[in-house]
Structures are given as structure tokens and as C-alpha cells.
Structure 1
Amino acid sequence: MMKQDATIYLVLNPSSAADEDVREVVSVLRDAGYTVCPRPTWEKGDGARAVQEAAADKADLVVACGGDGTLHEVANALMALDEAQRPAMAGLPYGTGNDFLTALGVDPKGGAVQLASWLGGEPWPVDVGRINDRHFINMATAGVGATVTAETSRGFKDVAGSLAYFVKAIPAAFDMPVHRLQARAPGLEWEGEAAFIFVGNGPQSGGGWNFCPAAEVDDGLLDLVIVPAMGLTEMVRQMRELVNQPEATDCHDIVYRQVKEAHLRFEEEVPLNLDGESFPGQEFAFSVQPGAIAFLGPRPSRVTAEGEKQKKREDEG
């Protein structure tokens, strides 16, 4: 439980900074005895600077108020701190996709009032992915999805929301770029033409699509999914099955592995999307840092594959 006199920093993207509900929650929390420090972000690096200020102030909690990109910036800044200096983290959804928070069970329409209810709970450990010299909290994607993200302007995302992804993705799919990929991970050696690559700490991306449906943010693993080049109709069929399967198993031609580390090498530089932000490159080393961040908020309830089988046996019996 967050102590009554805790210091809370709010890292606010422009949408959340303009929200009257946020201002009201700040007042309510202050009246309850909390020290609340709002920090709007207007320029690149503002979020990281706010986290550094929070650490220097010995803050108890940093709340990323924005989309996956805001969470990405806050998580990277937290990981740059010594573990003993690291405040707990929470997130309020004020972005276009909000994939990480939605997968945890945060209500995308619940606004800032959700924060007050979380303060009575305990932070829980969330894994953080690492790729080369950066961290990510939700998902890394390459291929068509990353190309679409890189080519979708911030203004268009603000207007169209998660629909922006599909407005751009539909024409891209008919002229689908493929990339020659060498992928290595424990128990996996794969080489070929890949259309989509997903490395998930969380399960969903692209505004709610479970491209890594078995991913759990606290299992100490990353979910690696490789979608080989194939005809568009067949790809749609296989990916439709992929996003609905509960287990980390191959789906027809689609490769699915849960790993602690992976190495991807492309023949040319490709756009890579990390939590909604574009970072181009050619060679990527992935790893996971289990339980690296204490996260305050709802913890997703899960039914294991074995539990589902047992329930099915009981229903049939």
C-alpha cells in the first residue's frame, strides 16, 4: 500500500495535461496528504528529465500519463537509475493505442480517477525487455507493422487513434515489404523471408491485437513471433488464428517461441518499432530483465493452459 504521505510524480503528455479529470485527481490526492508533482512533457527528453527529478526527490511513484510512447520513455529513464533509487511506476491511458495498459486491465476510458484506487494496493514486479542499448516495456515489432508506424504521422494518430494503424496497414499489405532475416534463440535457428516479427513482453500491439497472445509481463520471458512471407489471404488466415490462440506454440507457418534472449539480423537496415516509437537498425540483441520495475495498478488474472484443459475435462465429465 502506498503510504499516505507518498510523493507522486505525474509525467503528462499534452492530452493528459489538458484533462480536467487529471487536475481534479491531483487536488483530491493532495487533500488526502500525498505530495503530487505534475510534470508536463512538451519536448523530447522531458519525460526522462522528470523521472530523474523524481529520483532526486526520493519520490515513491512515477505515473506515466500518456500512450505506449510515454510509458517507453518513463521505463527507459527508470532503468537508467540504480535499482535502489527506482520509484514504483504506474500508467494512465492517454495515448492512441494504450496497448500495454489495456492488456493489464486498465480501463482506457476510466481516466485519472483510477489512480486513487490503485494507491491502496501493492506494486508488483514487471519484466522489462532490452534490445541493444535500449529497454522496452511492451513490444518490439519489425516488418510491415513497424514500417506502418514509422510512416504514420503523430498528427494523424492524434486524429484517427488506433484506426490510423489500419488505414496505413491495408495498402501496405498489398505491397508487402519482406526482409531477409536470420533469427537465433535457445532451441531456434531460423532463416528466411519474414513479413512480420514481434518480440513481446506484453501480448498486444497495433491498438489491441494480440500478436503475442501468450505473453505475460511477469514471467521472465519474451515471446518471439516470426511471420514468414506468404500470400496475403493465407497470412490473414494464419494471423487470425495466431491472435486467438492461448498457448505459445507455432501456428501453421508462423514461428512462436518463448525465450530469455534472441538475436535478429537483417540483410539491410529496417525500421524497428519499440512501444510505438521507431528505431531503425540491422542487428538486434534481445534479452529480458525479470521483475525490473515495481508496477502499481491492476495485475491481470490468468488461466493457465493446464487450467483450461482441466476445466474442459470437468465440463465434459
Structure 2
Amino acid sequence: MRALLIVNPKATTTSARSRDVLAGALRSELDLELGYTRRRGHAGHLARQAAEDGLELVVALGGDGTVNEVVNGLMAGPAETRPALAVVPGGSTNVFVRALGLPKEWSEATGVLLQALREGRSRTIGLGLADDRYFTFCAGLGLDAAVTRRVERARRKGRRSTPGLYLRSTLGEYFFERHPAELTLELPDDPDEERLASIIVQNTAPWTFLGDRPVHPSPDASFDLGLDVMALRVLHVPSTMRTVAQILATDGEPRGRQVLRHHDLAAFTVTSSTPQAFQLDGDYLGEREQVRFAAVPEALRVIC
């Protein structure tokens, strides 16, 4: 099987030695080529070129941002020539890999991947689509995305991406910035509209991880279904703290008068009267006044 290993050399939890070990292990099962990313967006170009060259598999070594780029590169071509995807975790959180049930350590995940290749094991997953960009596990507008923006600014200043950084960024954004209810969720079969302060869209569960703890705004979200939405009508301290406790609970789920939830949606639109922070798969993508979302069923074959 001809394959391309796309490596993000700046991936948080890998080294040159571990990348060499991974490449050697994969070569025992694959006719392997290597591609190293040089800039943001380059992973998508490499994946798209792999599909055009007729390769059968693309392996991504990196975090969720690298995986998102690779997925969008693969989805740019026709379905009949689209390579399968395999992922080896190399980032700080690795939500997509862990949502697939794979180990979070690159060495253990490599072992699972090699066994799956030997057994011909794979699954086909659905993706989310936000305007013209695909996402694997989540999107967000409002508070969620504003926290991502804070984290990325801190990382550009040399801070490490840790659960502590996310927690401090969340508290700083929540208590020191205003997030009025200016978002509107528009459903095709529901003419009623209401103002919302923050929206989280999930293509699978969990939404993210806080260290080893999964965070579940929409615990029933699945790669095999449509998109799930959890929104907050307001961000008042008592109701918001209660919702945070619910999504962190092992068997809890968000509920209450300030919580709006939808399950297994095929399509919807989020609009805002003012530009809102927007993120996909944990990458901040700027501010938007409108985003059209759609579920894309059985979009991509994944080796796992």
C-alpha cells in the first residue's frame, strides 16, 4: 500500500528520534513517503497532492490542527480516489485521536495503527462542514472560540499548551470580557429564533479534554450521526457555573433554563449582529457574522 506520512515538525509531544522510529515502523507495512509541513496550511496541500498521485493512505503526525488541514486536503478531491486517513497523536490535546478510541501516546497509537493495517481494520466517519471548511470534532462561536483565541495568543508568546493555560484563559475571558447574547441559531424547520451568548457544535463526543478528563457539552454526539449543538442563552455566573459542573461530570449532561440543545442536525445557520470569535477543531479562525453548518455523513475512511 502506497502511503504518505505527513509530519508537523513542531508537534508538541514528538521529537526527531520518535519521528524516525514511527517512519521505520510504518515502512514495515507500507510503501512510505514522507512530507514535512513548513507553514500553516501546508499539510492540506500535501494531503491533496497525495490523493492526486493515487496514494491509498495518508498518515498525519501532529495535533488536531494538523489533522484538520489533512482532512480538508483529502476532502478536496473526488470520493472515489480519496485516500484513507490514519492519525498518530503529536499535539497537546489530540481530541480527534482520542475520540476514535486510540491511545493518546504516539508510541501506543502507532502499535494500534500497525495492527489495524495488518488486519485491514477501518471505519467510515461523518464530518462537519462550516461554510467551505470541514471539521472532525467541534466548532464554536462566542465564548468557546474567544478562549481559543486567548490560548493561541499565549502560545505565540512562548507559553506551553496545558490544561492550566486553558483554565486561566477561560476564567480571564469569562470574567473580564463581555459576551452579550447576539448569536442566533436558525434551523430549516423552526422559524422561531432567540438570542444566544455562546454556541458549541459537535461532530462527536467529547468536545475536548481537560487533561485526562473528557468534557461533554453534547454527550450523544457521534461520528455516525448529524451535528449536535449546545448553546447558552446568557452567561450569568450561577447558571454558567452549574452548566460547567454538568459538562465536567462523568455521567452528567447540560440542562437548565439557560441551556439550549439540539441533537443529530443535518444543517443549520448561525448568525450574529456583530462579528463573533470562531474556531474549528481548536483552531481560531477569526471573527464571523454568519456560518452555515452541515453534517457530511460517511465522508472519510479512517484506519483505527
TM-score, normalization by structure 1: 0.83
| Whole-Å separation in 1 of the counterparts to 2:241 and 2:157 | 25
Letter in 2 for 1:131: A
In the alignment, what sits opposite 1:24? Answer: 21
- The yes-or-no answer on 1:225 pairing with 2:221 is no
Aligned partners of 2:243 and 2:255 also within 8 Å: no
Moved more, 177-186 or 223-232: 177-186
Is the 1:64–1:74 Cα contact (8 Å) retained in structure 2?
yes
Partner of 1:275: 281
Q: Is 2:143 aligned against 1:136?
A: no
Aligned ranges for residues 283-294 of structure 1 at < 5 Å?
A: 283-294=290-301
User: Using the alignment, how far apart are the partners of 1:157 and 1:78 within structure 2?
Assistant: 31
**Of 113, 116, 141, which aligns to 1:115?**
113
Bigger mean CA offset, 262-271 vs 252-261: 252-261
- Superposed displacement of residue 196, structure 1: 2.2
Displacement of 1:86: 0.5
Deviation at 1:122, TM superposition (A): 2.2
Cα RMSD for the two superposed structures: 2.4
Which residue of the other structure, out of 279, 286, 302, is the alignment partner of 1:295?
A: 302
Indicate the residue corresponding to 1:235 in structure 2: 240
Contact 1:21/1:113 (CA < 8 Å) preserved in 2? Answer: no
Stretches of structure 2 that go unaligned for 5 or more consecutive residues are none
The structure 1 segments of at least 4 consecutive aligned residues displaced by more than 6 Å after TM superposition are 245-249
Partner of 1:90: 86
Deviations 1:152-190 (A, max 9, x none): 233468613343221211121213423412212255455
Deviations 1:83-106 (A, max 9, x none): 011100111111122112112211
Is structure 2 residue 43 aligned with structure 1 residue 47?
Answer: yes
For the residue of structure 2 that corresponds to 1:106, the secondary structure is: coil
CA 1:182 to 1:44, structure 2 compared with 1: closer, same or farther past 3 Å?
Answer: same
Post-superposition CA distance 1:39-97 (Å, at most 9, x none) = 11121221012112211331111112111111110111111111011100111111122
Question: Structure 2: how far apart are the matches of 1:288 and 1:99?
Answer: 19
Q: Is the 8 A contact 1:214 1:246 kept in 2?
A: no
Q: 1:95 to 1:156 in 2, by over 3 A?
A: farther
The 1:249/1:210 distance shift into structure 2, 3 A limit, reads closer
Q: CA deviation at 1:123?
A: 1.9
Distance 1:124 1:117, change over 3 A: same
> Does the CA contact (< 8 Å) of 2:9 and 2:36 recur in 1?
yes
Report the number of matched residues. 290
Moved more, 145-154 or 201-210: 201-210
Alignment equivalent of 1:9, drawn from 1, 4, 18 = 4
Amino acid at match of 1:150: R
What amino acid does structure 2 have at the position aligned with 1:12?
V
Summarize the Cα distance change of 1:209–1:263 in structure 2 as closer, same or farther, 3 Å threshold.
same
1:253 aligns with 2:258: yes
Inter-CA distance 28–237: structure 2 relative to 1 (3 Å threshold)? same
Counterparts in 2 of 1:33 and 1:122: CA distance versus 1, 3 Å: closer
- The verdict on how the C-alpha distance between 1:248 and 1:205 changes in structure 2, with shifts beyond 3 A counting, is closer
Q: Displacement, 1:291?
A: 0.6
Aligned partner of 2:15: which letter? Answer: A
Residue 72 of structure 1: aligned partner: 68
- Seen in structure 2, the aligned counterparts of structure 1 residues 201 and 36 have a Cα distance that, compared at 3 Å, is same
Q: Name 1:307's counterpart in structure 2.
A: none
Q: Give, as a single letter, the amino acid of the residue that structure 1 aligns with 2:297.
A: P
Q: 1:230 to 1:44 in 2, by over 3 A?
A: closer
Query: Is 2:187 the counterpart of 1:185?
Result: yes
* Conserved? CA contact 2:184–2:195, under 8 Å: no
Q: What runs of 5+ residues in structure 1 fail to find an aligned partner?
A: 1-5, 298-317
Query: Which has the larger displacement, 288-297 or 225-234?
Result: 225-234
Compute the displacement of 1:265 (Å): 0.8
Letter of the 2:240 partner, please give it: M
Q: 1:116 to 1:198 in 2, by over 3 A?
A: same
Shift of 1:262: 0.9
From the superposition, tell whether residues 86 and 162 of structure 1 become closer, same or farther in structure 2 (CA, over 3 Å): farther
Sort the Cα spacing of 1:203 and 1:158 in 2 relative to 1 into closer, same or farther, 3 A: farther
